């Protein structure tokens, strides 16, 4: 089985109030994460997604694949090893993602067009709008 998860993170201001949006199958999640940069929000969305996948898959997680779809080119290229992670704030988040990946048969990050990620983006904006 493969669980497909759409993620997005965003901040109003950079840094500024930030939130994440995650769509895993038929379930959707949104959460405010305090003040952060856009890039930190994207990483936190990926972390949330992998933790949620562990919950959803339960004991079967090690037999399953997870595909995380993101419209963040930076996140995708850093997690796929194409870009180095120079930002010290992102390095521990990368390590957390790396460790979470070990619980699954396979984790694949896929870069998608922004138009394909509308629901996750909408969740981020809804969470940020509740701050106003």
pLDDT tens per residue, range 7-34: 999 999 989 999 999 999 899 999 999 9
Nearest CA to 41 among 12, 83, 66?
12
CATH number of 2-129: 3.30.420.10
Q: What is the pTM (predicted TM-score) of this model?
A: 0.96
Domain chopping of the chain, boundaries: 2-129
Integer Cα distance of 115 and 54 in angstroms: 27
Task: Tell how many helices (H) and how many strands (E) occur in the chain.
Answer: 4, 5
């Amino acid at each position: 089985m493969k669980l497909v998860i759409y993620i997005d993170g965003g901040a109003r201001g950079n840094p500024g109030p930030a939130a994440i949006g995650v769509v895993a199958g038929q379930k959707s999640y949104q959460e405010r994460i305090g003040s952060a940069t856009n890039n930190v929000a994207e990483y936190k969305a990926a972390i949330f997604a992998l933790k949620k996948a562990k919950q959803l898959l339960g004991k079967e997680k090690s037999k399953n694949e997870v595909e995380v779809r993101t419209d963040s080119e930076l996140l995708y290229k850093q997690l796929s090893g194409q870009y180095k992670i120079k930002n010290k704030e992102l390095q521990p988040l990368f390590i957390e993602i790396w460790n979470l990946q070990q619980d699954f048969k396979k984790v694949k990050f896929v870069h998608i067009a922004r138009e394909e990620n509308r629901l996750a983006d909408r969740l981020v904006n809804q969470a940020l709008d509740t701050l106003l």
